[in-house]
């Protein structure tokens, strides 16, 4: 017999990846969460349209039993902000992720605070990050061989997703947690601070690139676990996360 989950805890975690990536990017965080006996699902976004991506996330949420903490990276935050309106979702965690308000899109938010993006147009309505700049722009705190593999295994993403506005957003009536990667060259940290302050999110800053879930999975998992437990993040946790990189 499976033990009942405490009443004040979420019962599962759903992880949403960002543009040009896939769900395998959550591998290290997934493993830590599973060690804590959490139910974890990983969404595989089609990256063909915002509507299709939201549908994929909602499908994963619908398969869970009980309440869900919805976790998103990068563009996945746009998806989570919409899909998170599902009544099963009890909290949201934005990991270096966009957190749009109603009527905003990834493109309109990014225009507020420019960042260093070397996008490569593939000529068919899709884009990837230029592999020649990938390690420096996206993942300069990963071993170079890992960053190079991410660069060559990118999934083309429809340019249409960047301009698609969101309608109702989940963070207006659910608690949210925001992880700011202070060395992020894709999502400007100042834009992240603006969005997470606007939503009154609980914020942790990690000295990391745009992929803190790969370079500092324990620090990211700690925030997710706090959201699952519906507890505040201690000063010790914030300090530990911020100084994770020497």
Which domains does the chain show, CATH number per domain?
A: 12-114+165-242 (3.40.50.1820)
Rounded to an integer, the average pLDDT of 43-63 is: 98
Instruction: Tell me what pLDDT residue 9 has.
Output: 67
Angle among Cα 109, 244, 241 to the nearest 5 degrees reads 60
Of 141-150, 162-171, 230-239, give the lowest mean pLDDT range.
230-239
Rounded to an integer, the average pLDDT of 195-215 is: 97
Residue 16 β-bridge partners: 43, 72
Instruction: Tell me what pLDDT residue 145 has.
Output: 97
Neighbours of 233 (CB within 10 A): 17
Answering whether pTM is above 0.85, one says yes
What is the per-residue pLDDT across 12-22, written as a single tens digit (0 to 9) for each?
999 999 999 99
pLDDT at 4 over 90: no
What is the per-residue pLDDT across 75-112, written as a single tens digit (0 to 9) for each?
999 999 999 999 999 999 999 999 999 999 999 998 98
Q: Which residue is listed with tokens 């894709």?
A: 186
Angle among Cα 192, 208, 131 to the nearest 5 degrees reads 95
pLDDT at 243 over 50: no
Report whether 157 contacts 20 (CB < 8 A). yes
pLDDT at 244 over 60: no
Of 111-115, 125-129, 172-176, give the lowest mean pLDDT range.
111-115
Q: What is the mean pLDDT of the chain?
A: 91
Instruction: Tell me what pLDDT residue 96 has.
Output: 98
Angle among Cα 123, 128, 131 to the nearest 5 degrees reads 115
Instruction: Tell me what pLDDT residue 246 has.
Output: 28
Report whether 117 contacts 137 (CB < 8 A). yes
């Amino acid at each position: 017999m499976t033990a009942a989950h405490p009443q004040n805890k979420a019962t599962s975690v759903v992880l949403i990846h960002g543009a040009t990536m896939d769900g395998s990017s959550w591998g290290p965080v997934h493993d830590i969460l599973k060690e804590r006996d959490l139910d974890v699902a990983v969404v595989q976004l089609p990256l063909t349209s915002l509507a299709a991506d939201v549908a994929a996330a909602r499908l994963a949420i619908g398969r869970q039993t009980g309440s869900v903490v919805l976790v998103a990276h990068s563009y996945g935050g746009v998806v989570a902000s919409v899909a998170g309106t599902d009544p099963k979702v009890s909290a949201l965690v934005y990991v270096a992720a966009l957190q749009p308000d109603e009527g905003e899109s990834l493109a309109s938010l990014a225009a507020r605070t420019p960042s260093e993006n070397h996008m490569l147009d593939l000529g068919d309505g899709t884009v990837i990050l230029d592999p020649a700049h990938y390690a420096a722009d996206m993942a300069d705190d990963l071993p170079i061989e890992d960053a190079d593999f991410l660069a060559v295994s990118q999934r083309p993403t429809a340019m249409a997703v960047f301009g698609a506005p969101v309608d109702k957003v989940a963070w207006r009536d659910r608690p949210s947690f925001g992880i700011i990667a202070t060395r992020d060259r894709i999502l400007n940290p100042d834009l992240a601070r603006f969005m997470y302050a606007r939503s009154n999110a609980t914020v942790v800053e990690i000295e990391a690139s745009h992929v803190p879930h790969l370079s500092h999975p324990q620090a990211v998992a700690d925030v997710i676990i706090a959201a699952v437990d519906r507890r505040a993040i201690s000063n010790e946790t914030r300090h530990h996360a911020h100084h994770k990189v020497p």
